[in-house]
Amino acid sequence: MTISRKNLIEKIKAEIADLSDVAAGNITQDTALIGDDAPIDSGALVELMLSLEEYLDEEHGIDFDWTSDQTLSSSRSAYRSIATLADVIVKSAQNQSEAAQ
């Protein structure tokens, strides 16, 4: 149940490029996922999260709850940037792996 942070960031960037009119080369790990600077709207964010949820489950056996209190927290939201979302997913995968041992 491990996943590479780098590969996950690339997957998120590719998904955002598919959901927006922004070229993948213009999307960085610092790209915002919410707010005025985000390249996607709230509907596309939901599509992104559903796609990631399916990808993580099918490809890595990771059960990621993108609606959890931790993920949605206003003070430390996972949606601040691609990097923060990747960090939350990697940490969730590590926690699941440790719990399974």
Query: What average pLDDT does the segment 40-68 reach?
Result: 92
Q: Tell me: the pLDDT tens digits for 72-100?
A: 665 678 888 999 999 999 988 888 888 87
Torsion of CA 71, 46, 7, 9, to 10 degrees: -70
What value does the mean pLDDT of the chain take?
Answer: 89
- The residue ranges of every structural domain in the chain are 5-100
Rounded-to-integer distance, Cα 76 and Cα 51, Å: 22
Q: Structure tokens of 1?
A: 């149940």
Instruction: Provide the pLDDT for residue 38.
Output: 95
Using alpha carbons only, what angle is made at residue 41 by residues 34 and 7, rounded to the nearest 5 degrees?
65
Q: Tens of pLDDT along 7-45?
A: 999 999 999 999 999 998 999 999 999 999 999 999 999
Helix, strand or coil for residue 3? coil
Map residue 66 onto helix, strand or coil.
Answer: coil
Res 2: pLDDT:
76
Q: What is the CA radius of gyration of the chain?
A: 13
Structural tokens at position 65: 């709850």
Confidence class for position 64, pLDDT limits 50, 70, 90? confident
Please report how many Cα atoms fall inside a 13 Å half-sphere around the Cα of residue 94, on the Cβ side. 8
* Per-residue pLDDT, 95: 84
Q: Which CATH architecture has domain 5-100?
A: Orthogonal Bundle (1.10)
- Chain center to CA of 91: 12
